[in-house]
């Protein structure tokens, strides 16, 4: 299933043709009826806030992708200790120099630039993975629930209502120790592999985000299906004997790209923020993982003597989430027919 990247395919028997074929044909005809996706894209391109946010978000994505190269350029890595550069009071004896561009951390003296560029990675990877999982499960269950109706719908709807009444944050807190207990074995005397625990924590975060994230999307999709189900082109397809699977994915799904893209773009900044937030609380990622949230938690204690240590990850999280959120808002605006000028 490809969501969000491909242009909607033409739907059989579609009367109003809101979503449409090959963009090249559209261009050749010189306008006329445009697909909602294209209209939204055009509006987005003209929105300065969206473009600035996009630029900023892309900057962070590039930093995350080329983190190794960037720290290689500086000639440092994330783990080397520089205890000789730490003064008696556990603070570094300098702020920044040509060897350590952003200085070093208090206590252990690890290079801050290398850790900063690597710190953007977990947030982005977890956010993208969670968003992908949420989209697949949410769309699938939403489609099933709305289209099949009956007891399938009742069960899925009840699960959605139930999950939404549970406190997300507390479950996120609880699931990590249970999983670590189960898969890494913390019985007395057991050897606990740090790398393995780090991986479990990483996967747990994705799991929790997906578990609590799919319900809102599924509910949205269900509503869309209920309204689309009665439309002529779907009725026509069903009358022609098109299999349910094909009706769902070829006829209905392309018409829901707008809401799916909007919910995705609004969810991603939430996951970035949640990952860093949970790591900050000490219930998300932990050392040896490198995460901005984790750095904020440790740097908090030396913010007076060594402010750059705290400010770097703080600015990283704030700017990344800010740019992604504003971009999400802009995308939601662009897809909203009510704000169309």
Partner 1 sequence: MLIYILRRLALSVSVVFAAIVATFAIFFLGPSDPAGAFCGQGQNCTPERVAIIKKSLGLDEPKTTQFVHYIEGVVVGRDIGDSDSSVKHCPAPCLGWSYRSNRPVTDMVLERFPVTLSLVVGGVAVYVTLALLFGVLAARFRGRLIDRVIVGVSQFVPAIPYYIAALMFYLYFMVFYAIIPRSSYTSITESPWAWFTGLLGVWLFWGAFASTGYIRYVRASMIDTQGQDYVRTARSKGISEKRVMYRHALRAAIAPFITLVGISIAFELTGSIFTERIFNIQGMGLLALDSFNTGDLPVIAGVVVITATFVTIGNLIVDMLYGVVDPRVKLS
Using left for φ > 0, alpha for ψ between -120 and 50, and beta otherwise, residue 185 falls in: left
Q: Work out how close the CB of 14 gets to partner 1 at its nearest, in angstroms, rounded to a whole number.
A: 33
Q: Which member of 9, 61, 171, 199 binds partner 1 (CB under 8 A)? A: 171
User: Phi, psi (5° rounding) for residue 86?
Assistant: -95, 130
Exactly one of 174, 192, 240, 305 binds partner 1 (CB under 8 A); that residue is 174
- Residue closer to partner 1 by CB (options 58, 315) is 315
Q: How far is the CB of 227 from partner 1 (least distance, A)?
A: 22
DSSP E strands, the chain = none
Please select the residue that binds partner 1; options are 165, 239, 245, 341, rule is CB under 8 A.
Answer: 165
Residue 79 in contact with partner 1, rule: CB under 8 A: no
User: For residue 142, which of 220, 213, 250 has the smallest C-alpha distance?
Assistant: 220
Closer residue to partner 1 in complex, CB, 2/187: 187
Q: Does 166 bind partner 1 (CB under 8 A)?
A: yes
Q: What is the footprint of partner 1 within residues 211-240 (CB under 8 A)? A: none
Shortest approach of partner 1 to residue 111 CB, angstroms? 23
Task: Tell me how far, at minimum, the Cβ of 53 lies from partner 1, in Å.
Answer: 9
As given in the structure block, the two tokens for residue 324 are 């992604």
Out of 3, 85, 129, 318, the only residue in the binding site for partner 1 (CB under 8 A) is 318
Strand, coil or helix: what is 140?
helix
Burial group, residue 3, by CB count within 10 angstroms (0-12, 13-18, 19+): middle
Burial of residue 137 (CB within 10 Å: 0-12, 13-18, 19+) is middle
Cα(315)–Cα(303) distance, integer angstroms: 14
169 lines the binding site for partner 1 (CB under 8 A): yes
At residue 111, φ and ψ (nearest 5 deg) are -70, 125
Among the listed ranges 108-116, 138-146, 243-251, 314-322, the one in contact with partner 1 (CB under 8 A) is 314-322
Binding footprint of partner 1, residue count (CB under 8 A): 40
Nearest approach, Cβ of residue 122 and partner 1 (Å): 15
Least distance in angstroms from the C-beta of 320 to partner 1:
9
Tokens read off for 311: 């400010």
Q: Which residue bears the tokens 């349910």?
A: 244
Q: At its nearest, how many Å lie between partner 1 and the CB of residue 189?
A: 10
Question: What is the C-alpha to C-alpha distance for residues 33 and 39, in angstroms, rounded to an integer?
Answer: 10
The Cα 4–Cα 257 span in angstroms is: 7
Q: Which of 33, 89, 90, 186 binds partner 1 (CB under 8 A)?
A: 186
Distance CA 4, CA 50 (A): 18
Q: Which stretch binds partner 1 (CB under 8 A): 27-35, 132-140, 165-173, 252-260?
A: 165-173
For 223, the token pair is 């509503």
Integer Cα distance of 269 and 332 in angstroms: 13
Residue 339 makes contact with partner 1 by CB under 8 A:
no
| Chain residues 247-306 in contact with partner 1, contact rule CB under 8 A | 269, 273, 276-277, 280-283, 296, 300, 303-304
Name the residue with tokens 């909607």.
Answer: 8
Could you say whether residue 134 binds partner 1 (CB under 8 A)? no
Footprint on this chain of partner 1 (rule: CB under 8 A): 161-162, 165-167, 169-171, 173-178, 181-182, 186-188, 269, 273, 276-277, 280-283, 296, 300, 303-304, 310, 314, 317-318, 321-322, 325-326, 329
């Amino acid at each position: 299933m490809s969501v969000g990247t491909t242009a909607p395919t033409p739907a059989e028997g579609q009367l109003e043709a809101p979503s449409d074929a090959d963009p090249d044909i559209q261009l050749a005809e010189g306008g006329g009826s445009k697909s909602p996706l294209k209209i939204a894209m055009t509006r987005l391109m003209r929105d300065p806030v969206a473009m600035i946010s996009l630029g900023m978000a892309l900057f962070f994505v590039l930093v995350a992708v080329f983190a190794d190269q960037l720290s290689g350029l500086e000639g440092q890595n994330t783990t080397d200790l520089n205890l000789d550069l730490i003064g008696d009071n556990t603070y570094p004896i300098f702020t920044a120099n040509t060897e350590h561009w952003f200085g070093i951390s208090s206590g252990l003296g690890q290079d801050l630039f290398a850790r900063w560029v690597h710190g953007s990675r977990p947030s982005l990877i977890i956010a993208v993975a969670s968003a992908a999982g949420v989209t697949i499960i949410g769309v699938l269950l939403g489609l099933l629930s709305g289209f099949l109706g009956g007891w399938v719908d009742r069960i899925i709807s009840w699960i959605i209502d139930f999950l939404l009444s549970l406190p997300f944050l507390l479950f996120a807190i609880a699931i990590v120790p249970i999983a670590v207990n189960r898969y890494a074995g913390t019985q007395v005397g057991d050897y606990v592999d740090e790398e393995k625990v780090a991986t479990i924590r990483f996967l747990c975060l994705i799991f929790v985000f997906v578990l609590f994230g799919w319900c809102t999307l599924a509910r949205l999709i269900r509503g869309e299906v209920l309204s689309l189900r009665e439309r002529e082109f779907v009725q026509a397809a069903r009358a022609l004997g098109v299999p349910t699977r094909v009706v769902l994915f070829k006829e209905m799904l392309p018409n829901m790209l707008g809401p799916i893209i909007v919910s995705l773009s609004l969810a991603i900044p939430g996951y970035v923020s949640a990952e860093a937030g949970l790591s900050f609380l000490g219930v998300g990622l932990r050392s040896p993982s490198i995460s901005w949230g984790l750095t904020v938690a440790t740097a908090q204690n030396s913010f007076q003597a060594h402010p750059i240590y705290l400010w770097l990850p703080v600015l990283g999280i704030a700017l990344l989430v800010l740019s992604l959120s504003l971009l999400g808002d802009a995308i939601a605006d662009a897809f909203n027919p009510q704000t169309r000028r």
